């Protein structure tokens, strides 16, 4: 079975657009993280992390590029991607991040960078991207692959049901299985012709 044609995917999306609605708000954001060295940082460790994040904020205020600074200075794996968070589209749903992070993000306009934000992980600098409120329609491009997979699964299921119906009507309705083969018992031990010497 080949790939689902693009026209079929688009038609399904248009016919079912009312089902492709966001349950939660979505955000785009990047961040730079200065991570605490342990789950329960000492005052000294907290102060060192705060001093480092404030230095990074100063560099940003002086014109440093956020993505480049994230690549060189962030302790988060997202740093390799310029600090971009979320899925392949750089989006994440409300409730994904820790509360302190999301509260700070919601106060920012797109393009704005937060003051240092402390969470259980360390200190963050957050750069806001666009946000979308709950209830908006999810764009076609974001749903295309999932729709194609769904339609492909539907076709497979329909083909399977059709094949079963064909087999049921082609024969007398009996399902024939081969006779079970019983295992061959092991050979009996050889009988000695002469008695064993004592």
Q: What string of pLDDT tens digits covers the 198 residues of the chain?
A: 678 899 999 999 999 988 888 888 899 999 999 999 999 999 999 999 999 999 999 999 999 999 999 999 999 999 999 999 998 778 899 999 999 999 999 999 999 999 999 999 999 999 999 998 888 888 898 889 999 999 999 988 888 888 877 877 776 656 666 776 666 666 655 555 555 554
Same domain, yes or no, for 81 and 157? no
Q: What is the pLDDT of residue 177?
A: 66
Same domain, yes or no, for 98 and 58? yes
Same domain, yes or no, for 75 and 126? yes
Same domain, yes or no, for 8 and 72? no
The tokens describing 166, both together, are 């064909």
Q: What is the pLDDT of residue 186?
A: 66
Q: What is the pLDDT of residue 190?
A: 55
Give the domain-ending residue among 117, 132, 147. Answer: 132
End-to-end C-alpha distance for the chain, whole angstroms: 76
Same domain, yes or no, for 28 and 116? yes
Same domain, yes or no, for 93 and 110? yes
- Whether residue 187 is contained in a domain is answered as no
Same domain, yes or no, for 91 and 5? no
Same domain, yes or no, for 104 and 164? no
Same domain, yes or no, for 74 and 160? no
Q: What is the pLDDT of residue 88?
A: 78
Same domain, yes or no, for 120 and 26? yes
- Domain count for the chain, please give it: 2
Four-CA torsion 167, 168, 170, 173, nearest 10 degrees: 130
Q: What is the pTM of this model?
A: 0.63
Q: Domain containing 117: what range?
A: 22-132
Same domain, yes or no, for 15 and 46? no
Q: Look at the chain and count its residues.
A: 198
Same domain, yes or no, for 17 and 74? no
Whole-number Å distance between alpha carbons of 33 and 31: 6
- Whether residue 147 is contained in a domain is answered as yes
Query: Looking only at Cα atoms, what is the longest distance across the chain?
Result: 105
CATH number, domain containing residue 68: 3.10.50.40
């Amino acid at each position: 079975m080949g790939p689902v044609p693009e026209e079929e995917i688009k038609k399904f999306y248009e016919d079912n657009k009312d089902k492709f609605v966001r349950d939660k708000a979505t955000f785009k954001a990047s961040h730079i993280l200065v991570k605490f060295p342990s789950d329960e940082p000492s005052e000294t460790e907290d102060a060192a992390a705060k001093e480092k994040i404030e230095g990074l904020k100063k560099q940003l205020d002086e014109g440093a590029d956020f993505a480049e600074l994230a690549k060189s200075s962030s302790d988060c794996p997202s740093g390799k991607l310029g600090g971009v968070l979320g899925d392949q589209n750089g989006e994440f749903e409300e409730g994904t991040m820790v509360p302190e992070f999301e509260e700070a993000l919601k106060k920012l306009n797109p393009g704005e960078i937060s003051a240092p934000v402390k969470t259980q992980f360390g200190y963050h600098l957050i750069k806001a991207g666009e946000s979308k409120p709950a209830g908006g329609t999810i764009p076609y491009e974001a749903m295309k692959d999932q729709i194609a997979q769904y339609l492909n699964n539907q076709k497979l299921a329909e083909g399977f049901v059709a094949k079963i119906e064909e087999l049921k009507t082609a024969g007398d309705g009996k399902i024939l299985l081969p006779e079970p083969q019983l295992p061959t018992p092991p050979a009996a031990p050889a009988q000695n012709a002469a008695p064993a010497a004592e």
